[in-house]
Structure 1
């Protein structure tokens, strides 16, 4: 099947979403509406069936213009992209049978993109291409809640028993309003995470797209007497993935164990769901990795790909 590099205006969005929705790799970040909210524009390498025009494989390449040329970047709130392939399509990165990385380099001055966990790396790559291994943490939810809770760290199980025995325990509730979560994040993690005003605008656009498709789940834990928000989290339910996309907790909320209660409530609700996986969407920071591992989650590797082209006036150098 022919494979082509398409500019954004050449992409058939209906064929794109059909391919992403049927792909063996479950990657919500690759949906056209997700990319429109977080990246705006993207090019793509596409494997297309000639007879029908349908897309068999896609590789989204979010792009932005820079003085030195076109640059591939990883959009905010987008953990993984990489190759997505339908049932009958080949595995492009592992097989080396599709677009050669050398030919891709010629079109872009710089690149940083995170592949998805199912992508195999090519046995050989150009010297200018670097691969870095990253990790996310995942928990399969197809077991009964009692089994899942039994795999928690002993301290977590003890704390949950204490909360349940309390006279007025904290409660986890659902909401459709993302603004309290965004405000709490701005007051706590925001400066350290480097999020700017534009990032919160992008998140609001993404939340609107998720809500429209009924893929959004926002949870809160509030102080019973004052109503103060202690912790909140935004989850995305897409096919067989439940993504822990965005969360924040106040200092008082951390002391009260609100994040533990919130995640336990979500695990309890979805426990026993066939094939469903909770993706904690992180693990590169050791303290956060330990927090996820304490729920019984396991590390899952994926790769980041990067390269930088020399400017044209230096290419003669060896």
Structure 2
């Protein structure tokens, strides 16, 4: 298979986006215009040419230690190989081999759940190189009229409690209150780079994406909010935040449920974009969402002293976080 490395400037956007929109693995993250918003720079490994691409693999890049390295960007949970048909494990292996050959440092690269059957098994993971991690997101596959009926008993109870709390649900186009909520109540404990907020603003400004921003309010004050993006019948729970009042009143449970009830006829899939945190995964699973695998790889072939300096930097960073961790 002739897999070519193609710089961003040489990618035919029309051909690329046509393949993504018709691919079995199609997702918002992989469109050229989305990658342009969330990546410092990106390239691709492709099969095909002037008559059209048959297989493509986006490669997101970030400047680090004076080198361009492969790095999964914010608000782009997974990528992988895209084609109009299902992709066999040996094809994935060839693309991974090409990526390792062309890029000496892969900080992180996450493969779509659509590759899960091929990669999540022990045999599939043996096809990969470097460090391999298994993570999950949660997908709610939507059948019209089914939203809410399959929630866990605990989630239904919390939803009833939220309905009694007196929340006012407000649609908005202003994401600033949501970002400020997140900065105040979430960012101090997890650490967030300022460029994450910049990426989020660029995504919301995209004309090609349907964006839904909703707030839960009491007496005119915002206590929780969610931001969801939609493309091709696929909704992604991209960003959310809540203060203590919002958490106590199950505001995000109500916001998610209202969104699903209102939009289920237009959706095939709701992706919770789950982080690898057990309590959050359990919350998303309570909406009847299923855990689907994401395979993440990393690999470092850079020459000394860069790998050693990176290890020292990581050790210093984590020690610093442990010293200043909030009580």
**TM-score tier after normalising by the smaller chain length:** 0.7 to 0.9
Q: Does 1:189 align with 2:186?
A: yes
Q: Could you tell me the TM-score, scaled by structure 2's length?
A: 0.83
Cα deviation, residue 109, structure 1: 2.0
Match of residue 292 from structure 1:
284
Mapped contact 2:162–2:251 kept (Cα < 8 A): no
Looking at structure 2, the residues matched to 70 and 258 of structure 1 have their Cα atoms a distance apart, in angstroms, of 41
Q: 3-state DSSP class of the match of 1:311?
A: coil
Match of residue 12 from structure 2:
12
The structure with the largest helix share of the pair is: 2
User: Aligned runs of 1:110-149 on 2, under 5 Å?
Assistant: 110-111=105-106, 112-119=108-115, 120-121=118-119, 124-125=126-127, 128-144=129-145, 147-149=146-148
Q: Does 1:282 align with 2:260?
A: no
- Within the candidate set 83, 86, 108, 2:84 is matched to 86
Looking at structure 1, the residues matched to 47 and 66 of structure 2 have their Cα atoms a distance apart, in angstroms, of 29
Q: 3-state DSSP class of the match of 1:72?
A: strand
| Inter-CA distance 151–48: structure 2 relative to 1 (3 Å threshold) | same
Looking at structure 2, the residues matched to 286 and 279 of structure 1 have their Cα atoms a distance apart, in angstroms, of 17
User: Aligned runs of 1:70-219 on 2, under 5 Å?
Assistant: 70-87=68-85, 91=87, 94-96=89-91, 99=94, 101-111=96-106, 112-119=108-115, 120-121=118-119, 124-125=126-127, 128-144=129-145, 147-164=146-163, 166=164, 169-209=166-206, 212-219=207-214
Match of residue 258 from structure 1:
251
Looking at structure 2, the residues matched to 195 and 8 of structure 1 have their Cα atoms a distance apart, in angstroms, of 28
Cα deviation, residue 271, structure 1: 3.0
Q: 3-state DSSP class of the match of 2:246?
A: helix
Looking at structure 2, the residues matched to 28 and 97 of structure 1 have their Cα atoms a distance apart, in angstroms, of 20
List gaps (5 residues or longer) in structure 2.
307-327
Mapped contact 1:69–1:108 kept (Cα < 8 A): no
Task: Figure out how many residues of one structure are paired with residues of the other and give that number.
Answer: 299
Looking at structure 1, the residues matched to 154 and 17 of structure 2 have their Cα atoms a distance apart, in angstroms, of 43
List gaps (5 residues or longer) in structure 1.
none
Mapped contact 1:3–1:98 kept (Cα < 8 A): no
Match of residue 224 from structure 2:
231
Compute the RMSD of aligned alpha carbons.
2.4
Q: Could you tell me the TM-score, scaled by structure 1's length?
A: 0.86
